[in-house]
Structure 1
Amino acid sequence: MGSAFAQGALRIGMVAGFSGPVAGIVQESADGARLYFDAVNAQGGIRGQNIELVTMDDKYDNATAVTQAKSLASQGVLALMLSRGTGPTEAMLPVLKENRLPLIAPATGAISLHEPVQPWVFHLRASYQKEAERAVKHLAGIGVKRITIVQVNDPFGTDAGKGAIKGLDDLKLRALSNLRFDRNKPNLAPTMQAIAKAGIEAVVLIGPGYAVVEGVKALRAAGSTAHVATLSNNASADFVKALGENARGVIVTQLFPYERSTANLMVREALSLAKTAGRQELTPSHIEGFAAAKLVVDALRRAGKDITRDSFARALDGRIDLGGLQVNYSDKDRSGLEYTDVSIVDEDGRFRR
């Protein structure tokens, strides 16, 4: 990916997996950010300077993420935004510290990036634990009690799994089983066959999109009609498309307001700009990118005439209204939002709330 830098532009970098397993959702979030940046630029930018989003593909690989982040830092970007995944984001932390380079709205909810506070990381989305907790509470709220957790055996799965267990504990419930699978070779068919035989009512399936797709298909092939809930890392059009005929009814947690809700000021603005740009629909990932871009623009406007990385980071301290959503950063708190919700894929392959 990438682009030539425009002369005099305010440059914001994005290092993420534009190829590989998360490509679809990464592209959607970048498109959502550009939707807002383009609108700001059309109105004269920030004090006459256009905002430029410069993207680089880390292929969802930690070492590549570090290389690309160093490259953008050396080329003068003011900040990075919307990194994808816990591993690549954690790998970039030394680069952020060395270059005093803020990272805005990383698309990861790992507790390890919240505690202890990382001074150059400004979170926007809620944690994995919060959304997994929301998923099980939704299931319990519709009368489901026989719940199994199936999670990928990596830090993401472990982290989110703790949230699911906490949610069940709060409700005085216990998972009937807590199973793990290999990220690179999921082989979920035997697991789903056993779940079907056990009469499980719901499966909280925590993992990357390709593994969750395999798991849902295997569960349905085994004859189970159990509810399936997964997390927002799979809230993309590509994920729904990959599920095919098994998409309907899958529950997906969401970390931003409903992408078709005109009741929310930010979403209403995004929908209006999308229509002007000729785009008919938005996805949850578009909204995440759009919200992150609004956060960046607010900081740029607050940062003064001669913007530096330090002045940009200082401008993020305090309360910022994104349009119906508020964040409040301080030296001791970079957590961002606690907003969580759930959606269900409908018969048309759209996320409904």
Structure 2
Amino acid sequence: MNTPSWSRRLGASFAVAAAAMSLSGAAHADILIGQTAGFTGQVAASVKELTLGAKLYIDKVNATGGVNGQKIDLVSMDDGFEPKRAAANAQTLIDKGAVAMFLTRGTPHTQAVIPLLEKAQVPLVAPSTGAMLLHKPVNPYVFNVRSTYQREAERAVQLLLEMGNTRIALVQVNDTFGADGVTGAMNGFNGRNVKPLVHLTYDREKPDIPGVVKKLIAADPQVVLLVASQQITSDTINALRAAGSRILGATLSNNASNGFVQLLGQNAAGVIVSQVFPSERSNNIPMVRELGDLVKAKPAESGGQVTPAMMEGFASAKVLVEALKRAGKDTTRAGVLKALNGMSKYDLGGMELGYSPTDHTGTNYADIAIIDPRGRFLR
């Protein structure tokens, strides 16, 4: 039987409409956000805590209707903390249609992703690295949330000196992250007309921890500032303790996680860790209180305890969601970029942040904490 012409025309109209919706993104389609980070490898523990903090907020937003009627779909891929895999993952996520990349981890890894951002004109929100190269010169596609490594390393050295530690050793991994942290640390030394007692370097791929430990014990500093991943840092401190050394360990905020504390085990107490967000126990700060409530509501997922890494992920997700809200119905890459550059003033909840086309710095907060016998970060 022949199909009536009106039916054929109607069917064709539906097909055209469906195709148009597919190409433009249906009104209620998910908003795809891409993440590549080391869910396995040297930084796995802190990456999982970072992402958990972000997901707690994103899940809350999705549970209350999403953003402009759309749910946020955070797709996370494991790069094993390898820059080449980070770039490959980012390309896959961009090809899938991610409107933004989010919460990458590591300086060389983020560097590997940047050319892909520029080619596809995709914004990256909240790279979990304080690399100065992501701040100056301003990259039009990178929007930082946390403070720089240089700022926190400088502040850490200043505070260590103020505590009466005149013999400070400096140990770094030999990559862009290590060099960045050391630049800040040296600013702290130079500001007080002091030099590090000894300055040592790890090979990033094959760190000679026994060799570094031997040299540290021979130099006999009061404290060693370690600019390295959580695995290398914890292995060094544990090796010092196994050798009978009581040299005080200090490190940067990339190691501010429960995972780092667990790697240290019985050697965690007394280790100093710099911080780039307010204390997770400062419940007078709205942002801290908000995250605390989410953690209490999902104890099975969160472990029931807020950590500094979770705080960074949570704050980063708040910035991402605010940009998506300000983009309105235009949740394209260009729309999100425009919204971010127009976010001149945003209150995270007791901590303010702002961007412009000439400033993608984010916050400038820096402090230090000491791990107590219970594994908590005390200010």
* TM-score, structure 1 as length reference: 0.95
Instruction: Identify which range, 218-227 or 169-178, moves more after superposition.
Output: 218-227
Distance in 1 separating the partners of 2:67 and 2:360: 25
Among the aligned pairs, what percent are the same residue? 46
Partner residue of 1:332?
A: 358
Which residue, out of 304, 315, 321, partners 2:339? 315
Which residue, out of 169, 178, 186, partners 1:157? 178
Partner residue of 2:234?
A: 213
SS at match of 1:282: coil
Mapped pair 1:257 → 2:278: yes
On the 8 A contact 1:196/1:223 being kept in 2, the answer is no
Partner residue of 2:373?
A: 347
Which residue, out of 305, 315, 324, partners 1:281? 305
Off by >4 Å, runs of 4+ in structure 1: none
On the 8 A contact 1:13/1:72 being kept in 2, the answer is yes
Is the helix fraction higher in 1 or 2? Answer: 2
Which residue, out of 180, 186, 198, partners 1:177? 198
Distance in 2 separating the partners of 1:195 and 1:66: 36
On the 8 A contact 2:173/2:202 being kept in 1, the answer is yes
Partner residue of 2:254?
A: 233
Distance in 2 separating the partners of 1:195 and 1:57: 34
Mapped pair 1:48 → 2:69: yes
Distance in 2 separating the partners of 1:17 and 1:217: 23
On the 8 A contact 1:193/1:218 being kept in 2, the answer is no
Mapped pair 1:131 → 2:152: yes
Post-superposition Cα deviations, 1:120-151, rounded to whole Å, max 9, x if no partner, equal 00001111111111211121121111111111
* TM-score, structure 2 as length reference: 0.88
RMSD: 1.7
On the 8 A contact 2:198/2:219 being kept in 1, the answer is no
Distance in 2 separating the partners of 1:97 and 1:307: 18
Distance in 2 separating the partners of 1:91 and 1:191: 29
On the 8 A contact 1:193/1:222 being kept in 2, the answer is no
Kindly state the Cα deviation for residue 60 of structure 1 after the two structures are TM-superposed.
1.6
Kindly state the Cα deviation for residue 34 of structure 1 after the two structures are TM-superposed.
0.8
Distance in 2 separating the partners of 1:241 and 1:176: 29
Cα gap change, 1:250/1:8 in structure 2, threshold over 3 Å: closer, same or farther?
A: same
Post-superposition Cα deviations, 1:164-217, rounded to whole Å, max 9, x if no partner, equal 111011122211111112222222334333433433111111111121112112
On the 8 A contact 1:316/1:329 being kept in 2, the answer is yes
Report how many aligned residue pairs link the two structures.
349
Structure 2 unaligned spans of 5+:
1-24
Kindly state the Cα deviation for residue 297 of structure 1 after the two structures are TM-superposed.
1.0
Post-superposition Cα deviations, 1:215-263, rounded to whole Å, max 9, x if no partner, equal 1122223333222110111112121111111111000111111122202
Which residue, out of 294, 310, 330, partners 1:306? 330
Distance in 1 separating the partners of 2:55 and 2:133: 29
Partner residue of 2:316?
A: 292
**Equivalent AA in structure 1 for residue 156 of structure 2:** A
Distance in 2 separating the partners of 1:304 and 1:181: 47
Distance in 1 separating the partners of 2:242 and 2:46: 27
Partner residue of 1:98?
A: 119
